[in-house]
Structure 1
Amino acid sequence: MKIDLHSHTYYSDGQLSPKELIDRAHNMQVNVLAITDHDTVDGINEALDYQASLRREMQIMPGVEISTSWHNFDIHILGLHVNHGDTQFLARLAQQSAERDRRAQEISDKLAKVGIAGVFEQAKELAGVGQITRAHFARVLVNRQLVNDMEAAFKKYLGKGKKAHVKPQWISIQEAVTWIQDAGGKAVLAHPGHYDLTTKWLKRLVAEFAQVGGDGMEVIHSHLSPEKKKLLADLASEHDLLASSGSDFHYPNRWTELGKNLTLPSTLVPIWRDWNLSGMI
Structure 2
Amino acid sequence: MKIDLHSHTKFSDGHLTPEELVLRAHTMQVNVLAITDHDTVAGLDEAHSVQAKQKRPLTLIDGVEISTLWHGFDIHVVGLNVNRQCPEFLARLDGQAQVREARAEKIAEKLEKCGFEGVLPRAKALAGVGQVTRAHFARVLVNNYGVPTMEAAFKKYLGKGKRAAVKAEWPSIETAITWIQDAGGQAVLAHPAHYDMTAKWLRRLVALFEQAGGDAIETAFPGINKTKQELINELAQTHSLLASAGSDFHFPSRWTELGKNLGISSKLTPVWHNWTQFDALGANS
Q: Percent same amino acid at aligned positions? A: 61
Please tell me the residue identity of whatever aligns with 1:129: V
Shift of residue 144 of structure 1? 1.2
Give the aligned partner of residue 148 of structure 2.
148
Alignment TM-score, normalising by the size of structure 1 = 0.98
Please tell me the residue identity of whatever aligns with 2:201: W
Is residue 60–residue 280 contact of structure 1 (8 Å, CA) maintained in 2?
Answer: no
Please tell me the residue identity of whatever aligns with 1:171: P
Please tell me the residue identity of whatever aligns with 1:113: K
Shift of residue 277 of structure 1? 3.0
Give the aligned partner of residue 180 of structure 2.
180
Shift of residue 51 of structure 1? 0.2
Deviations 1:210-268 (A, max 9, x none): 00000000011110111111111100000000000000000011100100110110010
Alignment TM-score, normalising by the size of structure 2 = 0.97
Q: Distance in 2 between matches of 1:156 and 1:72?
A: 19
SS in 1 for 2:257: coil
Is residue 111–residue 117 contact of structure 1 (8 Å, CA) maintained in 2?
Answer: yes
Give the aligned partner of residue 64 of structure 1.
64
Is residue 193–residue 228 contact of structure 1 (8 Å, CA) maintained in 2?
Answer: yes
Q: Distance in 1 between matches of 2:24 and 2:136?
A: 22
Q: Distance in 1 between matches of 2:147 and 2:280?
A: 44
- Which blocks of at least 5 consecutive residues in structure 2 are unaligned? none
Shift of residue 176 of structure 1? 0.1
Give the aligned partner of residue 83 of structure 2.
83
Shift of residue 279 of structure 1? 6.8
Give the aligned partner of residue 99 of structure 1.
99
Q: Distance in 2 between matches of 1:231 and 1:23?
A: 35
Pairs within 5 Å for 1:196-275: 196-275=196-275
Give the aligned partner of residue 74 of structure 1.
74
Q: Distance in 2 between matches of 1:142 and 1:174?
A: 36
Most deviating of 157-166 and 98-107: 157-166
Superposed CA RMSD:
1.1
Please tell me the residue identity of whatever aligns with 1:72: G
Q: Distance in 2 between matches of 1:207 and 1:278?
A: 31
Please tell me the residue identity of whatever aligns with 2:10: Y
Shift of residue 46 of structure 1? 0.3
Q: Distance in 1 between matches of 2:242 and 2:79?
A: 13
Deviations 1:141-171 (A, max 9, x none): 0011431010000011111111111011100
Please tell me the residue identity of whatever aligns with 1:278: F
Is residue 59–residue 280 contact of structure 1 (8 Å, CA) maintained in 2?
Answer: no
Q: Distance in 2 between matches of 1:55 and 1:126?
A: 32
SS in 2 for 1:277: coil
Shift of residue 280 of structure 1? 9.5
